[in-house]
Structure 1
Amino acid sequence: MLVVRMMSLRTAVRRASSSKPLRSLSSTHIVAAGAARRVPGLQQRRLYSRSADSQLTATRSTVVQLLSNIGSKREVQQYLSHFTSVSSQQFAVIKVGGAIITEHLQTLSSALAFLNHVGLYPIVVHGAGPQLNRMLEAAGVEPQFEDGIRVTDGKTLSLARKLFLEENLKLVEELERMGVRARPLTSGVFTADYLDKDKYNLVGKINGVDKTPIESAIQAGCLPILTSMAETTDGQVLNVNADVAAGELARALQPLKIVYLAEKGGLFNGDTGEKISVINLDEEYDHLMTQWWVRHGTRLKIKEMKELLSDLPRTSSVAIIHPADLQKELFTDSGAGTLIRRGNKVHTSTSLDDFASIDQLKEVLIRDREGLDARATVDRYVEGLRERDFKVYYDEPMEALAVVLPPSQDSAFAHLATFTITKAGWLTNVADNVFASIKKDFPKLVWTVKEDDENLTWFFDKADGSLSREGEVLFWYGVESGEEVKELINEFNQHGRQMFGDINLESRLARAAQAALNIGKGTGASAASLEQRRAFSTTTTTTTTTNALRSARSVRPSIPAAAARRAYSTNPNPPLGDKNISNSQPSKVALIGARGYTGQALINLLNAHPNMDLRHVSSRELAGKQLQGYDKREIIYENLSPDDVRKMSANGDVDCWVMALPNGVCKPFVDAVDQGAATGNVIVDLSADYRFNDQWTYGLPELVNRSTIAKASRIANPGCYATAAQLGISPLVPFLGGQPTVFGVSGYSGAGTKPSPKNDVQNLTNNLIAYSLTDHIHEREISSQLGAEIAFIPHVAVWFQGIHHTISIPLNKEMSSRDIRNLFQERYAGEKLVKIVGEPPMVKNIAGRHGVEIGGFAVHSSGKRVVICVTIDNLLKGAATQCLQNMNLALGYGEYEGIPLE
């Protein structure tokens, strides 16, 4: 955990303590003298590693390089302010996970080296969990966890201690190879008591932090690199979770920033799949904790961050980012990961009577204003508010205040008439809070800002579009169609002075207010009259509208036309991937009915999964025998009854139940889980019993909204034939010109282990067996899910595993083979388990693999019928692999965790 945060321009240098306006600072002065003069002791410390002159030259060069890539005056100024505002040991604490050291060592070291070259000393605390798991496995030690905490015996601690020293040295050596002095601090910083010796053994609870070794390292010009080990007062070494160690270090140092480096690179919204940029805890915490996707590790992480930040200054914040994005997170407004801060709650008022003091409101409006008559103008401005509807947004100390004029008979758009932010408000990002509140209330908003406003890029980021003319920029969001843009511009041309630049409709007051209420000078959006500022060309409305749309997001990279087209045609349900990860703890799994081929395939997958802890396996025929193929623990087959399941459910012994029973058999077991009343239990049923039950979620992730599956606790796993057929037909459902026919052939493993003519190899040799020629349950399943009638004809052949479908699909319009193939490629773009090929795929190439192949795309000469071929392994993607996808989603792991991907 890194407690170093330099001035995330997004959160931005909120720690800057200088009361002098940033625009009055000289960049030259700060670059040349800041490191040596304004950060106490920095010049002396750096003498240990290089001469003062060379240090200043290196610092200047680095800062100049930084400035050339930042792109906004405010970002530069905030960076410079941050650079000189905090002591070295209060810059940041950075927590580095073990996987980061293993997979991203050079990236991490480069980022730390950059910070050091600009005179910053982040304090690094690292873990080594994944490495320790592998080491313990190699040593024959079975990892044990209680409540997510590693139980640490003497052998485990000995191995952990050795490993931590090796990983610490690895990072130190890489930093020094890059010319950065680093000091390993592997003991002497954390003191601890036993957390619970009887339960966790040699696990510590930190009760003290000695800052002396850290301060000594920094004074010697070295980055402190700490391990998450602690000692008792009598010298016993104890294991401590790295996140916990970083939090306690942060409490002791009160840093500007606490940074968690993680491969995910942030937290993700489970509904939208998008990375969460900012969480303002004071404003959002209660609502956030009610969301379905805030669970498992994500819930715990947010709760811990709230507790940590409540012990730190309000200026402190937490960032969860990927190491490759460290510089972007710290030095740009947009950031890169998830920023978590306390923030300030936003209040609203629709009447001047809501304010305890009108004088206070006037003081807020007049601050930073220019002109001898500023106070008189503000007086008239406030009185003008009494004559019309408005809504004011502000935080408790009024660091930020915005006035919005709702839509009226004169304008269809709400107008942001006043937006004033203090420097402290910008640095603590109250502006984001206020703007987010406005956006909740007003889906359409327009406002203007001067082109030379130092916060211009911030406004571009908040807007959907903009139009620039003669020193002013008109911004808007929520104005989506060309007709609306046209209306907006026409309205501005006709009523610009009154409607856009003035809260009082009297032009006299507008002109009087212009000088006093112009927020374009470093404080936000303009409330001034736009008279004589805009001369929009109205030669042709079409041209004006096109230019307006073209200028929208003018500071953002353009999207190639091909990419824009794909946005309307590609997979509307992209994989959540790592975005679903909210759980880092093992889940206890019970498998009911494990004798069959599918059960064994699932056991093999669970054995390789880092977070699936198989605890119980039930089979009547195999009860009392030892489970083969599972290495994490010894498991003896049980013959669990529904009553056993009910008791286990009531005790919370199982997190996920997998029903691998024949059709029509599992209901008593499902009822038993429900009767046990254990909330949070997930059931995945591999039979067909619940595929037509509206209370259950159909678990085909490539076609069913993944967020729905992630929210579900009762999941019906699709059939193997049905999965392949749906994937082969779904993109063409809008183009169906008749009933598709699916000719399916399966290997004999699909007939199960119970002897029958369909799995008798002698009977199948030189043979092909057709069965259930009409009304097969998969025919009903496919038709029900696609919303179209499908004919399905199953067969069984002599090979063991794998299915081949030949699907004939009538079309309602002429289409070419290339059109159809492109349609499939775009629909399944990003799907890791669906592969589009040219030629018809072959069964021998899919057996033993975890995905689906779709190809052929042969179009009849009429152009109105296509034949598509699909192959799938019936035991894997047709059953066990898909089951694990659903388990991962529902339990809060990455969708493909534990699934071998090619």
Structure 2
Amino acid sequence: MLSACAVAIRAGARRSVRRLPGKTRAIPATASLRRSQRQFSSSASRPTDLSTRGMIVQTLSSVSSKREVQQYLSLFTSVSSQRFAVIKVGGAILTDYLDELVSSLAFLYTVGLYPIIVHGAGPQLNSLLEMHGVEPKFEEGIRVTDVKTLRIALDLFMEENMKLVNALEEKGVHAQPFTTNIFRAEYLNKEKWGFVGKVTGVRKEAIETAINNGYMPILTSLAETDSGQILNVNADVAAAELARALEPLKVVYLSEKGGLFDAAGQKISAINLDEEYEHLMSQDWVKYGTRLKIKEIKELLDTLPRATSVAIIHPGELQKELFTDSGAGTLIRRGSKLQYATSLSDFKDLDALKQVLIRDRDGPNADAIVNKYIDFLKENEFKAYYDEKMNALAIVLPAKDGRQATLATLTITKSGWLTNIADNIFTALKKEHPQLVWTVKEDDENLGWFFDKADGSLTNDGSVMFYYGVENPQEVVKLMKDFTQNGRAMLGNSNLESRLHGAAKTSSSPASKQSRGFSTLARRPILSTPVMGAIKGRTYVTQTNPNPPIGKRNATTFQPARVALIGARGYTGQELIRLLDAHPNMDLRHVSSRELAGKKLEGYTKREVIYESLSPDDVRDMEKRGDIDCWVMALPNGVCKPFVEAVYEGRKGSDHKSVIVDLSADYRFDNSWTYGLPELVQRNNIAEATQIANPGCYATAAQLGIAPLVEHLGGMPHIFGVSGYSGAGTKPSPKNDVENLTNNIIPYSLTGHIHEREVGSQLGAEVAFIPHVAVWFRGIHHTISIPLNKTMTSRDIRQIYQDRYAGEKLVKVVGEAPLVKNISGKHGVEIGGFEVDKSGKRVVVCATIDNLLKGAATQCLQNMNLALGYSEYEGIPVM
């Protein structure tokens, strides 16, 4: 089996080799991979903009391990090319995410995979109809298609189809357009809906021939009657009928949202219909479009082989969904019905059980270890969860003597991972065991999956203890103390421990890298927290460090972090108060404002807080007593120094050491302070800091907009920035006077603005910054002109930005220049434009940011989370 990198390299080396047309046939993995090394066309070979190096970078940024790429490529190439995947592309995707879509498809093409694309054009059709004075009509959610509408739709579908085909050809992908003659249909109801079709058949021979000759098929959702009349068909319906005809391994629906979402607004990672469908459909929040989508997908999967799955994902996440265990969007499959055992007699074949247990173990004493484990199970309570073929097996020892239930065994084969039985089992475990503890080797190749299933973890000399459902602080403390003192025996398995003499193994053995098991632990404790963005799994769970560094938070009582806000009258202070109110692990205790002293703080619901007028002496005494875990200085420039020095004074002779986050510019150039821009500064540095300088709003957007190209700079970048008037503060001035700003734009500090120096010092490159203020309230737009030291294309540059910010939840790389109105009220930064001039040595990049959120309050909370031991994004609605 070739690695992904090897496939890409060899593919790039043999692009000119042609393949002769042949019959449709199942292609073994090696043959299919060899085919990825060739370019199929009767025309001369052409270079592709997606270089081999770029592909490797793209792969590594999207995939968590080479092992996953290899196993999924092996899976996909084990069937005929026509049965790889059907991908439905909505019209909005073609308009807003064309580049992401084309890059993803080009990647698949290069590794020898040929998805079949079916696209719609609904949003574009609505716009065109409006331009032609035709009002769109819908009956029961189906577009009424009269003669004029059909004529406009035909032209539009041709145009959109060729747009996608041409974009793919520019990437070196041979694509074949199919605008008609694939779907056979009859009228759905001519009197009611006009020229709308119901698919009655699929002419798949043309598709198979195209793929066999090395072309990616691009289909519209238009159909024909037997008499040749063109009919309009819903693209979702067309994709489903195509899937029924071809029986692919994957059916993919590309979505701007990137998946289905639950009642709390969290993306649903995976749905196993056999286990979860009835329960899911009984939930109050499953209604309207979500309910219909799940129902339609179930009806589709019921007609397809059990191995087929449906994925609802964002176009930019296609590789991650296809080539990782963790996935990216919502994965829906029929799943496998689980079986259960509470005694050894429940297993049909005890020898088969032993073989399952031994597959995770190596060494001469493996048989003896398993036999002892079987003897232990004969005498003790347990519950086993497994599928019919035992591709996955979990054994849980119940809660006993005040100890949590223990996951003593979890072994998964390669097939078990690929068919998602692991998630299926864990869903069952969470239903039956409100608390669960288990251990895994620290170097387990699938460690990220375990982090996703846990609420907390502790590393102990090469092994990791995970737990979920343990919410009582005293229980958490006891669990961790027992773990560090007693190792595996603390899990309530001392009898098992003595029987196995510490010989049970945890992670996959060298001989069996596709399965997982468990082992005993050594004794040296090391506290650890998963790094956000590095752990990627099917179900995103906010990771909270259950035991942050001593002195930053009370590590024995696990009380919420106590926060004091000095200067809360301004817009930023109010936004931060709102974020803290929604944060599950922060408690705002004090808010200081001289003007508002004595009044009740509005907008904070956790407790009643009265504005105070805290003096530096008050701050010193509170710090000395250890009353506050984090001080946030939300004061104007040049004002907070006495309060910071008061915190320093209070630390003297005290074991307590709080965190300070300063929102002003006072300490941004002080090397003893940590600069708090997590996307560009090492997060470990912020996590270890006790004094953090929060970046400026203009400066944050500018740095993120320039940083990926610093090594390619050919001169000084020029930043034209425009802010809404909230950036000028609440104190009346011409810069926040709406009447003065109406029909106007005001430049200020044309040279030497403090953010100019801030950006330059952080990037290590001189920049020119010209700030302006305009009449909107919030939001900043930067237009940045960047000279380059070499000729580059727009596509090259955009790829650099996508690679640099892959996994950053608060940075979104888009195609077009982003708009201020789209970033207002959001917590991240959007970067786009990437237009290169004729010389190829100057690019214009645009960036937008909400100056009150990511430009101030949200970034402050990121820094607080990191420094106080929480997940970086806890309490922050990510983009």
TM range (shorter): 0.5 to 0.7
Q: CA deviation at 1:129?
A: 0.6
Correspondence for 2:212: 219
Per the alignment, in what secondary structure is the counterpart of residue 265 of structure 2?
coil
Residue 246 of structure 1 is aligned with which of 239, 245, 249?
Answer: 239
Correspondence for 1:341: 333
For 2:182, the aligned partner's letter is V
Correspondence for 1:378: 370
For residues 634 and 104 of structure 2, the distance between their equivalents in structure 1, rounded to whole angstroms, comes to 46
Q: CA deviation at 1:480?
A: 6.0
- Relative distance call for 1:835 and 1:334 in structure 2 (3 A) is farther
Residue 389 of structure 2 is aligned with which of 379, 386, 397?
Answer: 397
Q: Kindly indicate whether the alpha-carbon contact (under 8 Å) linking 1:43 and 1:52 is maintained by their aligned counterparts in 2.
A: no
Deviations 1:223-260 (A, max 9, x none): 11100000011101111000000000111111111111
Q: CA deviation at 1:119?
A: 1.3
For residues 819 and 354 of structure 1, the distance between their equivalents in structure 2, rounded to whole angstroms, comes to 64
- Relative distance call for 1:53 and 1:31 in structure 2 (3 A) is farther
For residues 462 and 395 of structure 2, the distance between their equivalents in structure 1, rounded to whole angstroms, comes to 23
Correspondence for 1:106: 99
- Relative distance call for 1:497 and 1:739 in structure 2 (3 A) is closer
Residue 115 of structure 1 pairs with residue 108 of structure 2 = yes
Per the alignment, in what secondary structure is the counterpart of residue 495 of structure 2?
coil
Residue 203 of structure 1 pairs with residue 196 of structure 2 = yes
Deviations 1:1-39 (A, max 9, x none): xxxxxxxxxxxxxxxxxxxxx8x9999699869999432
Correspondence for 1:725: none
Correspondence for 2:527: 548
Q: Kindly indicate whether the alpha-carbon contact (under 8 Å) linking 1:191 and 1:230 is maintained by their aligned counterparts in 2.
A: yes
Q: Kindly indicate whether the alpha-carbon contact (under 8 Å) linking 1:485 and 1:548 is maintained by their aligned counterparts in 2.
A: no
Correspondence for 2:730: 838
Deviations 1:261-291 (A, max 9, x none): 1211111112x11111112111221122122
Residue 188 of structure 1 is aligned with which of 181, 184, 187?
Answer: 181
Q: State the number of aligned residues.
A: 602
For residues 615 and 302 of structure 2, the distance between their equivalents in structure 1, rounded to whole angstroms, comes to 62
- Relative distance call for 1:107 and 1:72 in structure 2 (3 A) is closer
Q: Kindly indicate whether the alpha-carbon contact (under 8 Å) linking 1:514 and 1:528 is maintained by their aligned counterparts in 2.
A: yes
Q: Kindly indicate whether the alpha-carbon contact (under 8 Å) linking 1:104 and 1:323 is maintained by their aligned counterparts in 2.
A: yes
Q: CA deviation at 1:67?
A: 5.3
Per the alignment, in what secondary structure is the counterpart of residue 320 of structure 1?
strand
Deviations 1:478-516 (A, max 9, x none): 45688656533442354435445x957055521286379
Q: CA RMSD in A?
A: 5.3
Correspondence for 2:571: none
Q: CA deviation at 1:114?
A: 1.4
Correspondence for 2:857: none
Residue 280 of structure 1 pairs with residue 272 of structure 2 = yes
For residues 490 and 552 of structure 1, the distance between their equivalents in structure 2, rounded to whole angstroms, comes to 23
Which of the pair has the greater relative contact order for Cα pairs under 8 Å at 6+ separation?
Answer: 1
Residue 510 of structure 1 pairs with residue 500 of structure 2 = yes
- Relative distance call for 1:328 and 1:552 in structure 2 (3 A) is closer
For residues 788 and 378 of structure 1, the distance between their equivalents in structure 2, rounded to whole angstroms, comes to 55
Correspondence for 2:483: 492
Correspondence for 1:541: none
Deviations 1:132-179 (A, max 9, x none): 111111222221111111111111111111111111111111111222
Q: Kindly indicate whether the alpha-carbon contact (under 8 Å) linking 2:179 and 2:220 is maintained by their aligned counterparts in 1.
A: yes
Q: CA deviation at 1:371?
A: 5.1
Q: CA deviation at 1:355?
A: 4.0
Structure 2: state its 5+ residue gaps.
12-26, 537-542, 554-559, 565-577, 583-590, 617-631, 637-660, 665-693, 698-723, 744-774, 778-820, 827-849, 851-879
Identity %: 52
- Relative distance call for 1:160 and 1:465 in structure 2 (3 A) is same
Summarize the alignment of residues 718-757 of structure 1 with structure 2, pairs less than 5 Å apart.
Answer: none
For residues 442 and 87 of structure 1, the distance between their equivalents in structure 2, rounded to whole angstroms, comes to 42
For residues 552 and 177 of structure 1, the distance between their equivalents in structure 2, rounded to whole angstroms, comes to 38
For residues 79 and 285 of structure 2, the distance between their equivalents in structure 1, rounded to whole angstroms, comes to 37
For residues 301 and 166 of structure 2, the distance between their equivalents in structure 1, rounded to whole angstroms, comes to 33
Correspondence for 1:441: 432
Per the alignment, in what secondary structure is the counterpart of residue 263 of structure 1?
coil
Deviations 1:608-647 (A, max 9, x none): xxxxxxxxxxxxxxxxxxxxxxxxxxxxxxxxxxxxxxxx
Q: CA deviation at 1:568?
A: 9.4
Q: Kindly indicate whether the alpha-carbon contact (under 8 Å) linking 2:87 and 2:239 is maintained by their aligned counterparts in 1.
A: yes
Q: CA deviation at 1:308?
A: 0.9
Residue 321 of structure 1 pairs with residue 313 of structure 2 = yes
Summarize the alignment of residues 499-538 of structure 1 with structure 2, pairs less than 5 Å apart.
Answer: 499=490, 505=495, 507-511=497-501, 514=504, 522=513, 524-530=515-521, 534-536=522-524
For residues 69 and 43 of structure 2, the distance between their equivalents in structure 1, rounded to whole angstroms, comes to 26
Residue 48 of structure 1 is aligned with which of 38, 41, 46?
Answer: 41
For residues 133 and 223 of structure 1, the distance between their equivalents in structure 2, rounded to whole angstroms, comes to 28
Q: Kindly indicate whether the alpha-carbon contact (under 8 Å) linking 2:307 and 2:419 is maintained by their aligned counterparts in 1.
A: yes
For residues 89 and 458 of structure 1, the distance between their equivalents in structure 2, rounded to whole angstroms, comes to 31
Residue 456 of structure 1 is aligned with which of 436, 447, 458?
Answer: 447
Residue 406 of structure 2 is aligned with which of 415, 418, 430?
Answer: 415
For 1:90, the aligned partner's letter is R
Q: Kindly indicate whether the alpha-carbon contact (under 8 Å) linking 2:506 and 2:517 is maintained by their aligned counterparts in 1.
A: no
Q: CA deviation at 1:393?
A: 1.9
Correspondence for 1:157: 150
For 1:218, the aligned partner's letter is I
Structure 1: state its 5+ residue gaps.
1-21, 537-543, 571-701, 707-730, 742-781, 790-808, 849-870, 874-895
For 1:475, the aligned partner's letter is F
Q: Kindly indicate whether the alpha-carbon contact (under 8 Å) linking 1:455 and 1:522 is maintained by their aligned counterparts in 2.
A: no
Moved more, 521-530 or 185-194: 521-530
For residues 296 and 280 of structure 1, the distance between their equivalents in structure 2, rounded to whole angstroms, comes to 20
Moved more, 338-347 or 243-252: 338-347
For residues 339 and 254 of structure 1, the distance between their equivalents in structure 2, rounded to whole angstroms, comes to 17
TM-score, L = length of structure 1: 0.57
Q: CA deviation at 1:203?
A: 0.8
Q: Kindly indicate whether the alpha-carbon contact (under 8 Å) linking 2:360 and 2:508 is maintained by their aligned counterparts in 1.
A: no
Deviations 1:157-212 (A, max 9, x none): 11111111111111111111222211110111100111112221211110111111
- Relative distance call for 1:70 and 1:163 in structure 2 (3 A) is closer
Q: Kindly indicate whether the alpha-carbon contact (under 8 Å) linking 2:90 and 2:120 is maintained by their aligned counterparts in 1.
A: yes
For residues 562 and 309 of structure 2, the distance between their equivalents in structure 1, rounded to whole angstroms, comes to 38
Deviations 1:106-132 (A, max 9, x none): 221121111111111111111011111
TM-score, L = length of structure 2: 0.58
Deviations 1:762-801 (A, max 9, x none): xxxxxxxxxxxxxxxxxxxx99x99999xxxxxxxxxxxx
Correspondence for 2:763: none
Q: Kindly indicate whether the alpha-carbon contact (under 8 Å) linking 2:441 and 2:519 is maintained by their aligned counterparts in 1.
A: no
